[in-house]
Amino acid sequence: MERSFEKYFRQNRLPHLWCPGCGNGIVMKAIVQAIEKKGLDQDKTVIVSGIGCSSRASGYMDFDTLHTAHGRAIPFATGIKLANPELNVIVITGDGDCTAIGGNHFIHGCRRNVDLTVVLFNNSIYGMTGGQASPMTPTHKKATTAPYGAIDRNFDACRLAEAAGATYVARSTAFHVQHLTDMIAGGIDNKGFSFVEAICQCPTSFGRKNKMADPAKMMMWMRDNAVMKAAWDKLPDDKKTEEKFPIGLFYNESETDYATAYNEVIQIAGGADK
């Protein structure tokens, strides 16, 4: 039986260009399933992406789609949402795209609380260019530009988003598909800046460099090391070892979104009926 999520893909563009075992396909499916779950109008939903492996997702998704420049997805998405607030705007970005070259846009997007749902595909590496270290490559892990192991400290994008003012912050993984779908769906529900980090495997560029070339093993690593937030909060510090990480909804606060706030400006300025 044909799956209902297939209608959200541009069938003539599949199969996608991602490497065998790449987790991006799993996250992309989770996004469309969240869209389906929330019943978003396909004609009124825009997918905006940056540059990199993850950002190629927009081309496969059957909506109005925008493949922007490296790091710039959030400013473009902000313009789309403010210009036409009836559109649902979902941003697809990667760890390099979002937290390095797009880092400033990311924190200010959070601060403005524009009603966007940003899904960061975190594969810990610059995949498209062949495996260079990103700001989210865990310290000591290897990359082509960190052949002796990364010495940079890595970002926790969720904590960054929360500190910068995002009103919905969650993390999941490519292993926890249904949970990931729920986290994204929750982000769509939140009227404001929603950030979902989706940890996913890059067997080709990250895995091979770090003794984990088998994508299934990378997913099992996610299974074995992800800890649901409620359990994480109760976990003694000595059990929070380097490999362990929390997943789940970290933060959700209702705040006025930017377009709503601007409508008040229009009211005051007398332009409401123009």
Partner 1 sequence: MNSEITIKLPRCKGCGICVAFCPKQVLAVDELGKVMVVNADACIACGQCELRCPDYAIFVDKKVKA
Partner 2 sequence: MSKARLMQGNEACVEGALAAGVRFFGGYPITPSTEVAEGMAKLLPTVGGKFVQMEDEIASMGVVLGASLAGKKAVTASSGPGISLKQELIGYAAAAEIPVVIVNVQRVGPSTGQPTAPSQGDVMQARWGTHGDHPMIALSPWSVREAFDTAVMAVNYSERFRTPVILLMDEIVGHLREKVELPEASAIEIYPRRKPTCSRAEGYEPFTPDKDLVPNTANFGEGYHIHVTGLIHDDTGFPIGSPKITREVTKRLHEKIDIARDEITHVEEYFMDDAEYAVVAFGGTARTAYEAVANARKKGIKVGMVRLITIWPFADKAIKKIAEKVKGILVAELNYGQLVGEVERVVAGKCPVELCAKYDMTIFEPAEIEAGIDELVAGGKA
By CB under 8 A, name the binding residues for partner 2: 10, 13, 42-44, 46, 48, 58-59, 62-69, 72, 74-84, 86-87, 104-105, 107-108, 258, 262, 265-266, 268-274
CB of 198 to partner 1, least distance (A): 12
CB of 265 to partner 2, least distance (A): 5
| Residue 69 interface partner, choices partner 1, partner 2, none, CB cut-off 5-8 Å depending on type | partner 2
| Tokens encoding 15 | 């199969």
CB of 88 to partner 1, least distance (A): 23
CA distance 136 to 129: 16
CB of 5 to partner 1, least distance (A): 8
| Residue 59 interface partner, choices partner 1, partner 2, none, CB cut-off 5-8 Å depending on type | partner 2
Nearer to partner 1, 215 or 248 (CB): 215
CB of 113 to partner 2, least distance (A): 13
Q: What is the bridge-based pairing of β-strands 245-252 and 168-173?
A: antiparallel
| Residue 7 interface partner, choices partner 1, partner 2, none, CB cut-off 5-8 Å depending on type | none
Distances (CA, A) of 74 to 77, 99, 134, 206, 235: 5, 12, 19, 26, 35
Q: What are phi and psi of 46, to 5 degrees?
A: -120, 130
Site of interaction with partner 1 (CB under 8 A): 1, 3, 6, 9, 14-16, 18-26, 29, 174-175, 177-178, 203, 214-217, 219-220
Nearer to partner 1, 32 or 89 (CB): 32
| Residue 105 interface partner, choices partner 2, partner 1, none, CB cut-off 5-8 Å depending on type | partner 2
| Residue 127 interface partner, choices partner 2, partner 1, none, CB cut-off 5-8 Å depending on type | none
Distances (CA, A) of 4 to 14, 19, 187, 217: 16, 25, 21, 29
| Residue 147 interface partner, choices partner 2, partner 1, none, CB cut-off 5-8 Å depending on type | none
| Tokens encoding 99 | 């937290």
CB of 71 to partner 2, least distance (A): 8
Nearer to partner 2, 120 or 143 (CB): 120
| Residue 48 interface partner, choices partner 1, partner 2, none, CB cut-off 5-8 Å depending on type | partner 2
CA proximity to 198, closest of 74, 21, 26, 15: 26
CA distance 133 to 146: 6
CB of 270 to partner 1, least distance (A): 52
